[in-house]
Structure 1
Amino acid sequence: MAHIPSHLLLTPDEMARADRMSAESGIPSFDLMQRAGYAVAATALSLFPAALRFAVLCGPGNNGGDGYVAARQLAESGADITVYALGDPDDLKGDAGRAYQLWGGLVAPLCEFEPRPGDVVIDALFGAGLSRTLPDDVTALISSVERAGVPVLAVDLPSGIDGRSGRPLGAAFKADCTVTFMARKPGHLLLPGKSLCGDIKVADIGIPRRIMEAVRGRLSENGPQIWSANLPLVGADSHKYRRGHLVIFSGEASKTGAARLSAIAGLKTGAGLVTVASPENAMVANAAQLTAVMLRKVDSEAELSDWLENAKLSAFVLGPGFGIGSHARDFVLALKDRPLVLDADGITSFRDDPAILFDAFADGETHLVLTPHEGEFGRLFPDIAADETLSKPEKALKAARRAHAAIVYKGADTVIASPDGRVAINTNGPPWLATAGSGDVLAGMIGAFLAQGLPTFEAAAAGVYLHGQAAGLAGPYMTAEDLAGLAGQAMADITARF
């Protein structure tokens, strides 16, 4: 797999196109199927050496063909094999039919399968291209396997998961391991599919890289390959003013902590200067807690406008603890020509008329980053959120284009999207990121990258990834303060590699 980029993702349609192009280029499609089946068999023998029986469940298409190849290889290795088929295998055509004929052994109807102790189930019923609800008999079989607690090795994707969206189509196997081919699919990384795949192994079955590159879209796994070339490196000629001035807006006296978390995270992530813009009634509370972060009183839109005219300010974060309402809307609209991360209360302030926000930032290069969680996304984009035909990446992309903004659609499977069509799925965020204040830290990190001159998509993707790295350093019992404090270490670890 060394010749295929590890971050590559292909949709099921793109993978099908790669298969077709391989055949058109002279690579026999059955050769690909054989290599896929061999990879499944090798993985089964490696992971489950003590299996008493491999129960290979074969479907009515090419995924079933992979299963027949795997069954033949396992039998030749001396393993105890029983093959069960969904439908009449004599009806199989093409490569799958050929794989069935070469198997040559007994095949029982799927309805006869009963899991027993010592079994390992090889799920070759349906692959990543499944787009319809599973038949009732397969749903019942999945339940019986789950009750029996026997291990499952999935071929391509656990049957029942939509490879495009990661959503179960009725029911789905929960696999201990999934073997996929050439590249992962979105369903391997998006929830709940991600939690049902177990360990994911990507097998190179011989499709040339030129074909993989030709069919790939603009979806990838988030990682340094997307944004590392844009990272500002600290050198001998570095100066705080060259690294940008980030402004974080604070809420009232009783709600100042969120802004300070954002500010510390921004400072740790490399912004040369960070100022908390505070209402007068919160100045004392903020001053008592800030040292390296500066403080300025900004109560009104007039005071903000005066500051914008007379100071060199690079980027802004508004939302954490700020408060919901017209005051937030006025400040955001005053910043319509500046790089801005809009989070939390800032997002919710536009729920009644999101078009006001979108229209304000519609001109010029994209300079707005929106960081909604599920509920906030639904407030800004109710029709997109409600469209169950769309995957999470597709929803994020539609939202990015409507808002003329980079979208950070947060969650355990955070998706970052740009109006230009680029979409990245983040995978390094540990579950303990779901803690109070975590989003405030993320907003500050993204703001720091904007202040240092990164474009919005790269700033958002880098912020999300390094946020996950910092959480990994902090460990399961972290607080948001721990997370903010380790943002700098996460940044140093990454920059040391480039």
Structure 2
Amino acid sequence: MKGVLTPIEMKAVDRNTEYNHIPTIVLMENAGSSIAGYIMNNFPDKKKISIYCGTGGNGGDGFVIARHLLNQGYKIHLFLLSKPENIKNKDSKTNWKSINLISKTDKNLKLSKITDSSQLNPDNSDIIIDAILGTGVNGRLREPISSAIDNINYSPAIVISVDVPSGLNPEDGVVYDKSVVAHTTLTLHKPKTGLKLADNKYVGNIEVLDIGIPLVSEEYTGVGDLLKLKTPSTSSHKGENGSVLIIGSNPDYIGAVIFAAEAAISRGVDLVFIVAPESSAKIIKQYNPEYIVKSIEGDVLNMDGYPIISELIDRVDSILIGSGAGLSSQTGELFNKIVTSTDKKIVIDADALKLVDKQNIIDSNTLVTPHTREFKEFFGCDLPDKRDDKIKLLEKLSKEYNTVILLKGVVDIVVSPDDYKLNSTGNQGMTVGGTGDLLAGLCVGISTRNTLYESAYISAFILGNAGDKLVEEYGFNYTSSDLLKII
């Protein structure tokens, strides 16, 4: 697993933890408790502490820190840099109600609600805890947060930031306006990418604290991974939200391309181009007027169609080859030409896995989607029995052939050259024909705005989750058409 996470990856892990039946308020409690424990262990003689809190989850961590330190005899001055009604995070609201109640009874806690910068005074505490923004920074800082950061930086106190110094971009480490200058940053679960890229003067010493997130929340897919899906801009125009080219479908397997195209459209793709033999293209055109269908003369895909395909490749973001394509050597020649002639994202599925030479994908940008038998045929090796051994082999092959691999199975294994993900959604009802085409269509659709690796494991989760929902209603007697309705 990755040792450093982007902010959106961390949000996904948090959400997946809740999906795995651990409430987010438990993570907040663990975070606050861990930070309080760090302070008690490292600064036992520093008893006067100021905690500056924002209205998000970072501020909620600050409320919990205050509660734990109060129990150990610390004198706490907690600053809420807003009105209480502006607290957005539900767990932070709960912990605010708690600390607000405690302030009425504990003489060691002073609580200040700051709505104007004029309410801030020089801070001479022993330690200042920055729990203002964390990963929630977004553009230029507003008051009173901007002045609070100045107040922190002008203080002689030891400054500790929670997760990420407030004002520092947690993804790229850039300070666009101003940032807390921390002596120590206590980052939660794993370091964020911005901490590794930032000027060290802002982040100081980086310590990673465990907050009880189980491995399953990061190793396996969950609803949190859906947060990574890119959403259309309000000002976007036709074609800006993804365009795909699907090449396949001999006359015996027309439905394969249709399932793939419909799955791609379900992800909000603007344009779907399809290239098929003319005998198939006529039928495909009639199915959905949204398709832009081009035909190749004859009953099989062949090199005569390459000029049309080459022109379309320049117009699309991602390509899918193989759906119902058949095993003609002429089709194989065409597919290998496509793979070696573009750096566009290509999903290699179904019959294409039997036709494309694996050596040809090394310099391309590909995702291969085999089940066990297809894997053996494509890579020329057997899969080990144990899952850990499978992952190691897939990691090796992914690096060797510079490709993303989605190995379909009871538990799907998705591997990129530098990471892996497992997916346990789905059930035996998904052995019905067409599910592989739906998965390939989801992959190509999502890949127009996400990486091939993200598109693979997110697609596997979406399709498997849909299958699990259908089981609850129909048992295992559902079809690919049923899946298509809810993905």
Q: TM-score, normalised by structure 1?
A: 0.50
Change (3 A) 1:249 1:286: same
Aligned twin of 1:377: 375
SS at match of 1:385: coil
Amino acid at match of 1:328: T
Quick one: distance in 2 between partners of 1:7 and 1:440? 31
Aligned twin of 1:84: none
Change (3 A) 1:340 1:3: closer
Change (3 A) 1:384 1:218: farther
Change (3 A) 1:291 1:474: farther
Quick one: distance in 2 between partners of 1:305 and 1:339? 19
Picking from 452, 466, 470, the partner of 1:456 is 452
Q: CA deviation at 1:392?
A: 2.9
Picking from 395, 402, 426, the partner of 1:404 is 402
Is 1:409–1:415's contact at 8 Å kept on the other side of the alignment? yes
Aligned twin of 2:110: none
Change (3 A) 1:6 1:278: same
Q: CA deviation at 1:386?
A: 5.2
Q: CA deviation at 1:462?
A: 1.1
Quick one: distance in 2 between partners of 1:462 and 1:247? 20
SS at match of 1:482: helix
Aligned twin of 1:300: 302
Picking from 316, 320, 343, the partner of 1:317 is 320
Percent of aligned pairs sharing the same letter: 20
Quick one: distance in 1 between partners of 2:421 and 2:379? 19
Q: CA deviation at 1:264?
A: 0.6
Q: For residues 405-439 of structure 1, what are the alpha-carbon distances to aligned partners after superposition, in whole Å with 9 as ceiling and x for unaligned?
A: 1111001111111012x111102223322211101
SS at match of 2:294: strand
SS at match of 2:244: strand
Change (3 A) 1:3 1:221: closer
Quick one: distance in 1 between partners of 2:385 and 2:379? 10
2:10 is equivalent to residue 6 of structure 1: no
Change (3 A) 1:6 1:276: same
Unaligned runs of 5+ in 1: 10-24, 27-182, 184-207, 351-355, 488-498
Is 2:323–2:349's contact at 8 Å kept on the other side of the alignment? yes
Picking from 427, 432, 447, the partner of 2:429 is 432
Quick one: distance in 2 between partners of 1:233 and 1:287? 28
Q: CA deviation at 1:466?
A: 0.9
Quick one: distance in 1 between partners of 2:218 and 2:230? 25
Quick one: distance in 1 between partners of 2:442 and 2:14? 33
Is 2:19–2:222's contact at 8 Å kept on the other side of the alignment? no
Q: CA deviation at 1:302?
A: 4.3
Q: For residues 231-259 of structure 1, what are the alpha-carbon distances to aligned partners after superposition, in whole Å with 9 as ceiling and x for unaligned?
A: 12134223330112111123222221111
SS at match of 2:219: strand
Is 1:219–1:423's contact at 8 Å kept on the other side of the alignment? no
Q: How many correspondences in the alignment?
A: 281
2:354 is equivalent to residue 348 of structure 1: yes
Aligned twin of 1:223: 222
Amino acid at match of 1:335: I
Equivalent residues in 2 for 1:412-431, closer than 5 Å? 412-420=410-418, 422-431=419-428
Picking from 228, 236, 239, the partner of 1:238 is 236
Quick one: distance in 2 between partners of 1:486 and 1:217? 26
Amino acid at match of 1:470: A
Quick one: distance in 1 between partners of 2:14 and 2:217? 19
2:389 is equivalent to residue 391 of structure 1: yes
Structure 1 runs of 4+ aligned residues shifted over 6 Å read 2-5, 212-219
Aligned twin of 1:111: none
Is 1:243–1:271's contact at 8 Å kept on the other side of the alignment? yes
Amino acid at match of 1:284: K
SS at match of 1:383: coil
Amino acid at match of 1:6: T
SS at match of 2:209: helix
Aligned twin of 1:468: 464
Equivalent residues in 2 for 1:57-136, closer than 5 Å? none
Amino acid at match of 2:258: R
CA RMSD, Structure 1 to Structure 2 (Å):
3.5
Q: CA deviation at 1:376?
A: 0.6
Amino acid at match of 2:361: F
Q: For residues 371-400 of structure 1, what are the alpha-carbon distances to aligned partners after superposition, in whole Å with 9 as ceiling and x for unaligned?
A: 101111111233352576953322332232
Aligned twin of 1:361: 361
Is 2:16–2:218's contact at 8 Å kept on the other side of the alignment? no
Quick one: distance in 1 between partners of 2:377 and 2:345? 22
Aligned twin of 2:345: 339
Aligned twin of 1:480: 480
Quick one: distance in 2 between partners of 1:430 and 1:343? 21
Aligned twin of 2:30: none
Q: For residues 7-54 of structure 1, what are the alpha-carbon distances to aligned partners after superposition, in whole Å with 9 as ceiling and x for unaligned?
A: 999xxxxxxxxxxxxxxx99xxxxxxxxxxxxxxxxxxxxxxxxxxxx
